[in-house]
């Protein structure tokens, strides 16, 4: 099963000359052709770009050049990231005809590392959602059960990896959009510390929360991809100058005596019994590895959803004001003599989907003079409390763990009439986002219905290394790894 290899296995086979990048790429493209109609993972396939990169990787190898870090590895890119010359829609109608004239720094760095970029993946419109059903084009489906959502908003990237259409992928995570779909699809998702990775060329949702991160079938692969894209970028003033370690080197290190804090509040009523059982199994596995596991308390967890949905929508309402039909994106003239205001109104009305409009309205409201102090300012204060509480906990333990999500993947359409119910499913991923902390989701086992569940590991700022170390050690002994059925 060539297309389900890990990044490491693939690179080893390429290095041994057992496969060519061309053959691997053709295989990935064939798999996309065969399965994309059923799964809806890709919005665009960048076939020529991919084959050209594959041929270059093969030429480099034939010449005996030192191999690049991701030479010949098929990688899928979330459609929120600009890839020069390719459509970039963020799954919105408003950007239906937009072809990126420039490139996200992370995409350029992948190219420089020899990666083969196979296409742009489906997502919730502007990354607003937890199911990839809010795509303006078509919903994405979970390869483990196509009546279920793959999670979101980076659902297409998660499915590309889970279904063997790419060996790794990039996603973005504002409140859980990498970790939750990773959990739902049995893949690994790594959201780095805020500032670790450049946001240049990422279509903005909520700029103080947005981070680019990686998906792969194993922790090592996700770590390697992150390592390639991480690091300071003069084009993004919020990108950090913190040195980037070799995250992959943390895989395989022993975890004895590491201290693990269990977020007690994540074990409350909302947690499904099978998700609880899987999580408890994961804690036993961690203890078996020699970690010290203790219960800790994050009282502010219950405010995380409300806080996030005030701040993220406020930032979104500001960021999305740029889509006005003037400079780029869809332009709608309601009548031939429409005024500028009428043109902008009609363009936005027809360009944005229902969830995006809901968020723009909510975000605009919380920023109005009458509501600013009661909502926006208060949410900023609570955000600070969440961060302070998490940092205080992380002074006493090395990482914090919880289930990634309270349930297995939910059914497509389950939350159609109740957006709030979907927001509530983000509860465990939001604290790390509000605090800007690195967080990983690694498969922990299967639900009663045979669907994947994830373990979330949260670390100190810029300590992705420890998060990866714990994740890789757990993965090596987890029940999921042993029984991994492949969709």
Strand 292-296 vs strand 259-263: parallel, antiparallel, or unpaired?
Answer: parallel
Q: Which of 68, 78, 141, 191 is catalytic?
A: 78
Question: Can you tell me which residue has the tokens 């960048």?
Answer: 46
Alpha-carbon distance of 87 to 136, in angstroms, equals 14
Name every residue whose Cβ is closer than 8 Å to that of residue 374 and which is 6 or more positions away in sequence. Answer: none
DSSP E strands in 325-370: the ranges are none
C-beta closer to ligand GLN: residue 127 or 212:
127
Which DSSP string do the residues of 1-35 spell out, in sequence order?
A: -GGG--HHHHHHHHHTTSS-HHHHHHHHHHHHHHH
The residues pairing with 401 across neighbouring beta strands, listed in sequence order, are 262, 457
- H or E element at residue 396: helix 378-396
C-beta closer to ligand GLN: residue 42 or 205:
205
Nearest distance from C-beta of residue 196 to ligand GLN, angstroms: 16
Phi and psi angles of residue 352, each rounded to the nearest 5 degrees, phi first: -95, 145
- H or E element at residue 442: strand 439-446
C-beta closer to ligand GLN: residue 91 or 166:
91
Q: Which of 177, 198, 444, 478 is catalytic?
A: 177
Nearest distance from C-beta of residue 441 to ligand GLN, angstroms: 12
C-beta closer to ligand GLN: residue 127 or 226:
127
Nearest distance from C-beta of residue 210 to ligand GLN, angstroms: 7
Q: Which residues bind ligand GLN (CB under 6 A)?
A: 127-130, 153, 173-177, 205, 312, 426
**Residue least distant from ligand GLN (Cβ):** 177
Task: Tell me, yes or no, if 177 is annotated catalytic.
Answer: yes
Alpha-carbon distance of 205 to 174, in angstroms, equals 8
C-beta closer to ligand GLN: residue 88 or 153:
153
Radius of gyration of the chain (CA): 21
Task: Tell me, yes or no, if 381 is annotated catalytic.
Answer: no
Give 3-state DSSP helix, strand, coil % of the chain, rounded to 5.
45, 15, 40
C-beta closer to ligand GLN: residue 184 or 480:
184
* 3 CA to centre of own chain: 21
Nearest distance from C-beta of residue 179 to ligand GLN, angstroms: 9
**Tokens standing for residue 133:** 């059903």
- H or E element at residue 470: helix 464-477
Nearest distance from C-beta of residue 458 to ligand GLN, angstroms: 15
Task: Tell me, yes or no, if 78 is annotated catalytic.
Answer: yes
DSSP E strands in 1-121: the ranges are 42-45, 74-78, 116-121
Nearest distance from C-beta of residue 81 to ligand GLN, angstroms: 13
Nearest distance from C-beta of residue 318 to ligand GLN, angstroms: 15
Phi and psi angles of residue 148, each rounded to the nearest 5 degrees, phi first: -110, 155
Alpha-carbon distance of 133 to 441, in angstroms, equals 21
Strand 399-403 vs strand 292-296: parallel, antiparallel, or unpaired?
Answer: unpaired
Asked if residues 439 and 432 have their Cβ atoms less than 8 Å apart, the reply is yes
C-beta closer to ligand GLN: residue 166 or 311:
311
Alpha-carbon distance of 32 to 130, in angstroms, equals 23
C-beta closer to ligand GLN: residue 352 or 474:
352
Nearest distance from C-beta of residue 372 to ligand GLN, angstroms: 21
C-beta closer to ligand GLN: residue 61 or 120:
120
Label residues 15-50 b or e (16+ Cβ within 10 Å = b): eeeebbbbebbbbbbebbeebbeebbbbbbbbeebb
Asked if residues 121 and 78 have their Cβ atoms less than 8 Å apart, the reply is yes
Q: Which of 153, 157, 198, 447 is catalytic?
A: 153
Burial of residue 253 (CB within 10 Å: 0-12, 13-18, 19+) is middle
Burial of residue 291 (CB within 10 Å: 0-12, 13-18, 19+) is buried
Nearest distance from C-beta of residue 82 to ligand GLN, angstroms: 17
Which residues are marked as active site?
78, 153, 177
């Amino acid at each position: 099963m060539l297309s389900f290899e890990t990044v490491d296995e693939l690179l080893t086979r390429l290095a041994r000359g057992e496969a060519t990048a061309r053959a691997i790429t053709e295989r990935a493209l064939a798999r996309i052709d065969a399965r994309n109609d059923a799964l809806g993972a890709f919005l665009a396939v960048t076939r020529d770009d991919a084959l050209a990169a594959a041929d270059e990787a093969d030429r480099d190898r034939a010449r005996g050049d030192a191999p690049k870090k991701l030479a010949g590895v098929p990688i899928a890119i979330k459609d929120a990231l600009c890839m020069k010359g390719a459509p970039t829609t963020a799954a919105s109608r408003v950007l239906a005809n937009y072809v990126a004239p420039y490139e996200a720094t992370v995409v350029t760095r992948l190219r420089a590392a020899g990666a083969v970029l196979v296409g742009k993946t489906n997502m919730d419109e502007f990354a607003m959602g937890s199911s990839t059903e809010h795509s303006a084009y078509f919903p994405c489906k979970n390869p483990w059960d196509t009546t279920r959502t793959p999670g979101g908003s980076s659902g297409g990237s998660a499915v590309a990896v889970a279904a063997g259409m790419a060996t790794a992928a990039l996603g973005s995570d504002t409140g859980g959009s990498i970790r939750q779909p990773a959990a739902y699809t049995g893949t690994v998702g790594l959201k780095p510390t805020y500032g670790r990775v450049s946001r240049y060329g990422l279509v903005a949702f909520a700029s103080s929360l947005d981070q680019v991160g990686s998906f792969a079938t194993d922790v090592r692969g996700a770590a390697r991809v992150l390592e390639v894209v991480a690091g300071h970028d003069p084009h993004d003033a919020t990108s950090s100058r913190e040195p980037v370690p070799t995250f992959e080197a943390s895989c395989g290190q022993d975890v004895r005596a590491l201290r693990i804090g269990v977020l007690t509040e994540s074990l409350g009523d909302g947690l499904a019994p099978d998700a609880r059982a899987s999580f408890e199994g994961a804690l036993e596995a961690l203890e078996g590895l020699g970690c010290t596991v203790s219960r800790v308390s994050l009282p502010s967890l219950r405010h995380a959803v409300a806080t996030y949905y005030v701040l993220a929508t406020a930032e979104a309402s500001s960021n999305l004001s740029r889509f006005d039909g003037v400079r780029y994106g869809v332009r709608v003239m309601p009548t031939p003599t429409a005024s500028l205001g009428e043109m902008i109104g009609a363009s936005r009305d027809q360009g944005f989907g229902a969830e995006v409009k809901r968020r723009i309205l909510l975000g605009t409201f919380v920023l109005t003079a009458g509501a600013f102090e009661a909502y926006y300012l208060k949410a900023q204060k609570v955000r600070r409390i969440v961060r302070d509480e998490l940092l205080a906990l992380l002074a006493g333990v090395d990482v914090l763990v919880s289930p990634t999500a309270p349930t297995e993947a939910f059914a497509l359409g389950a939350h159609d009439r109740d957006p709030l119910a979907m927001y509530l499913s983000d509860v465990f991923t939001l604290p790390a986002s509000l605090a800007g902390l690195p967080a990983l989701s690694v498969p922990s086992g299967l639900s009663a219905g045979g669907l994947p569940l994830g373990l979330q590991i949260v670390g100190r700022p810029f300590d992705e290394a420890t998060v990866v170390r714990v994740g890789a050690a757990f993965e090596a002994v987890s029940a999921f790894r042993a029984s991994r059925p492949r969709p």
